[in-house]
Amino acid sequence: MYRASMRLTALSKLITVMALSLAVGTASLLHGDVASAAVGDPARNHNNYGFNNAENSAWWMCNYAAGTAYGARGAIWFAKSGASYYTQNVVVADGQNSVPVQIAGSVYACMYGFPGPTYAINIAPRGSNGWRLTGLSSTSLYRGRLPSPAPYYYSSQGNTLAATLNVTGLATNNATSPAQETITIDLYRCMSSNGTSVSGSCYAQPVEVTVIRTPPAPKYTNSAVSNAYVNGSSSVAAADAVVYPGDTVLWRHNLTTTQTAGLFSSRSIDYTYACQIAGVAGSDRQNNPAGSAYTFSSSGTTTVNPPGSGECYGPYTIRNEDVGSTFCHRLEYAPKDQTGGSGASPWSCVRVMARGGLTAILETAPSDGSTVADASTYNVHFRVSNNTQPTIDANVEYSAWVWYEKSAADRTFDPAAGDDRYFNTSSTGSPFGAGTAPAVLVQGGGLPQEITTSIAVLDMQKGGRVCATWRISTFVPGVQVTNPGWLTSCVLVGKSPAVQIWGNDARVGSQLNGSGITSGILGRLSTRLDGASVQTVDNVGHGLWNTGVDASGNKIKITYNATSGENNNVPTTTINDPHWSISKVMRPNGSTTVDYTGSGSNYPNGPATCQKSYDGSSLTNMNTSTPGRVLLESSPGYINPSSPAMYRAGQFVSTRPEVTGGYNFPGALSSSQHPNIEIHYPYGRVSDTAAWIGQNLYGLDYSSSACKDPAMGLAENPQANIYVYTLNTPFTIDSNVDLSTAELSFKGGVDNFVKIYVNGMQLAASDGSLDWKAPGFSSGSSFQGTYKHDPTQPIPFAYTNNTIEIHIQSAGTHTALLIDELKIKAQKLVGTTKTYGSWGEYSMYAPGAIRSIASASGLAAGSASDQQQAWSQLTHANVTIPYGSFAPASQMGVIPNIGGYLSRPGLKGVNIIPSGAVTIDNAFVNANQLMKRSTVIQATGTVTITATNMTYDTSSDDKNMNQLVIVAPDINIQAGVGRVDAWLIAPNGTINTCSNGPGQLTINDCNQPLQVNGALTASHVLLRRTAGADKTTPGGAAETLNLRGDAYIWSRRLSELNGTWTTRAITELPPRY
């Protein structure tokens, strides 16, 4: 029973040991000789199980290992210093590299083991990891006492040795949980029963050491990301994304916690939403919705969004009034990490821009890429179109240049050194677009507004190309420039060289064989101002009207006869001005809202549109446009009987409350107060060509107790109503004036204060100010003012569709306007316009069209007309095309075969020189006496003319008249040749008048005039001279083709010399034929 019981116990121990061995690792086994007998210590001995894995391993060796059942088996283990005796692992902290350890052991007695004390002596570390164990406190270890009887018992608790264990690099995978690593250290020892002498085996025993490294202190970071989503898109909007009114923006916030070290433990993060709107109404504001807290049970991300809707909450739809603002959202949270603190996501912002924007416009006449004649007019208009939606008036900075390019370099917005910048204006500060300098205000609405203008007469001598360039910028929030770069337009300043054909017709389309080629004659015209100069011209505006005149411009005069009484009478004639209206009544802040706040003469907000207009029979509310009413005038002599012609205007009526509103001006008089008539009729400034107009034919503003005019009874009041007098129809300005110089000349009277606007922009008075002006209305007032462009604003004038508003601020309870002269004056180029171009002395014939070339010497001295019929008297046409199309090409006839005739054998009267390709230079001329006798050069190759002395000797005898005829496939004339006295015959080839000039000519190439005295026949004629056609010689010819009389005389004589007379028929005639 005992052994069976022990076996069962051993089996259970085996199962336990195996389980522990899998969980913890195998302990070292100590083989030793049988120890000597000793008295047991039952209180500390144990036999039911081992206290650690090393002891269980010793038990297993006794019971199951071969050859070990009769002795005692020792155990040894490591633990961290201070641990309980049987602890069998070493626990170290994160980052710890060495640790104090204790070495302990025990012995298990096998079947015949003896009681008594047990030791391990001569202890020393060995093996590959032996270096890790240092500083052993002793080489002898007491491992306790075996009891008596000893078999199947463990020794009691013994002593420990102190040492230091190096744990560098062990169990380092401990970032978020404990890490464990087991190593083996070979420990040399000998079995001893007394602690000094060896009583058993000595060897190095592998001892497993399990190192458990604890995780570091918990570390984590919290973070957040805020993103904007536009119009339901699933894609995150870019940083500083641009949005427009009508777009919907939704912000989402992601809150994230990330464990970076240690064990995760549940944590709560507080958060709140931050919302900032910058640029609204010129200031910033911040509106933070309430936040909450979120508890994380593990690392991860959650999305938190503010509830509700609005600019700082849920989806928000951008409004027109948001333009120029920047909406920014972020998420703020705490803690930031395990140390506390707080953090926030980067701001997620969208910028609200107006749709459309400012567009720079550069218009030149002629247009970009054109070639213009020397002394032509070059107009440059720098305009800006503001098509922002919603409409936003925007300040614009600009820089504009116009210059001559003297070099052949490509266009550049910055003129090269040496170029002539003749126009340079700028409103910019530094840096460009920073808003540091005054800028011009461009009103919204899309109508192009003139910023500045340059008009000049081009001078080819200053440069071969003229360029204009400019760019604009704005610092107005929410407004963009659609084309922010430089706009450049260039024109070539060139010539339209003319050819003149003297002494013969011009005929094209015929060939030697009689077959025709459909062709025409095409020239080039140049139109210029001869004697042009810049002058200031009056009356360049059209559609401007005086006040109080009818459709024919005649004054509308409304008076009463003194005998019937003038006070309170109503005229029977129409008193509405057909040209002027009062479009609105407004407050100084621009509002037309009826607001009765305030008292007495101080109405800071209103009223305005409660005003009434009176036409003699009824009152009309002025919240919409009302006609200008022609004011009453006194009868002649009513004011002063001794001056029968004297009259005044603007009668005050104080006894008609239904007209005046019952709140009467203290100075208004009834007819019984007739002696003070100058107040009764206040406007002594009258005109025979215009009448005063106002809202009330009596000249009095409406002022009831419920609708007081703030200026009532006061000489002036800055809170007074403003009445906007508007010209009903647009006016125009001549298209050939410089709009930047345009001024509005205004003559008349105003009661009381006036400002003038053209196309919505205020004009500056003649003194340059923009203040209210008081022209006056007394009989001694002779106001005549000039209103002009405010240089801080765009040019207000346009060539068409101009509007004009005259703002009048009331004082003394009445406003009125008299204009008896209104005109526009401006600078423009003045001169005689003439058309120049090529011309022939006689007829023009062609099977095709003939254009831009005159016949019958039509352009010899220029023409006042640019219409071809004025200078085409001998341009023949037999079909429907107005000029040219003399006949079909096949019916144009045969051109004379001059070369063939002159090459006949035996031809008399000429010297024939056959040749191949030949250069006719001065030496050749002299050697062959070309100018001293009649010569025909018959060349089979190209003839090149370089001679500068090809001039016939003069003679008055037809027998001594000589001619030179050059017959060749092609004939080239070089640039240095100015005159060629010769017939040039190349019927199937080309005649080139400047064969050595470059392909692209300038004014410095081929600029010597050429005159050819003789007949000319060719398939192609390249007229390449560039002389003439400039500002000093606009009608000068580059080439003159002159078939002089001596050619006719010589050819007749040559024909007679080589001809024969043959009688073909005889006809008898009566005596008196």
pTM above 0.85, yes or no: no
Query: Of the candidates 455, 497, 462, which has an alpha carbon nearest to the alpha carbon of residue 1033?
Result: 497
> Degrees (nearest 5) of the Cα angle 1001, 1004, 1005?
45
Q: What is residue 282's predicted lDDT score, i.e. its pLDDT? A: 39
**Strand 440-442 vs strand 394-405: parallel, antiparallel, or unpaired?**
antiparallel
CB 464 within 8 A of CB 491: no
Query: Of the candidates 520, 541, 506, which has an alpha carbon nearest to the alpha carbon of residue 1040?
Result: 506
Q: Give the C-alpha separation, 453 to 907, whole Å.
A: 70
Q: What is residue 644's predicted lDDT score, i.e. its pLDDT? A: 64
CB 810 within 8 A of CB 712: no
**Domains of the chain in sequence order:** 2-213 (no CATH), 219-352 (2.60.40), 358-494 (2.60.40.10), 498-525+837-859+871-891 (no CATH), 534-555+568-766+777-835 (no CATH), 898-1058 (no CATH)
Query: Of the candidates 650, 646, 632, 629, which has an alpha carbon nearest to the alpha carbon of residue 569?
Result: 632
Q: Give the C-alpha separation, 71 to 61, whole Å.
A: 10
Query: Of the candidates 380, 358, 385, 384, which has an alpha carbon nearest to the alpha carbon of residue 370?
Result: 380
Query: What is the end-to-end Cα distance of the chain in Å, rounded?
Result: 187
Coil, strand, or helix at residue 958? helix
Query: Of the candidates 725, 393, 772, which has an alpha carbon nearest to the alpha carbon of residue 588?
Result: 772
Tokens describing residue 931: 């100018």
Q: Where are the beta strands (DSSP E) in 916-1042?
A: 918-920, 935-939, 943-945, 964-967, 971-973, 979-980, 983-992, 1010-1013, 1016-1022, 1037-1042
Q: 607 to each of 334, 806, 812, 817, how far by Cα in Å?
A: 55, 20, 16, 22
Torsion (CA) 805, 809, 813, 819 in degrees, nearest 10: -40
pLDDT-flagged residues of the chain (< 70)? 1-44, 48, 67-69, 279-287, 406-419, 428-438, 512-518, 529-533, 559-574, 591-609, 637-645, 651-680, 704-706, 708-716, 780-784, 812-813, 879-881, 1072-1073
CB 487 within 8 A of CB 476: no
Q: Residues of 943-974 as b/e, b for ≥16 C-beta within 10 angstroms?
A: bbbbbeebebeeeeeeeebbbbbbbbbbbbbb
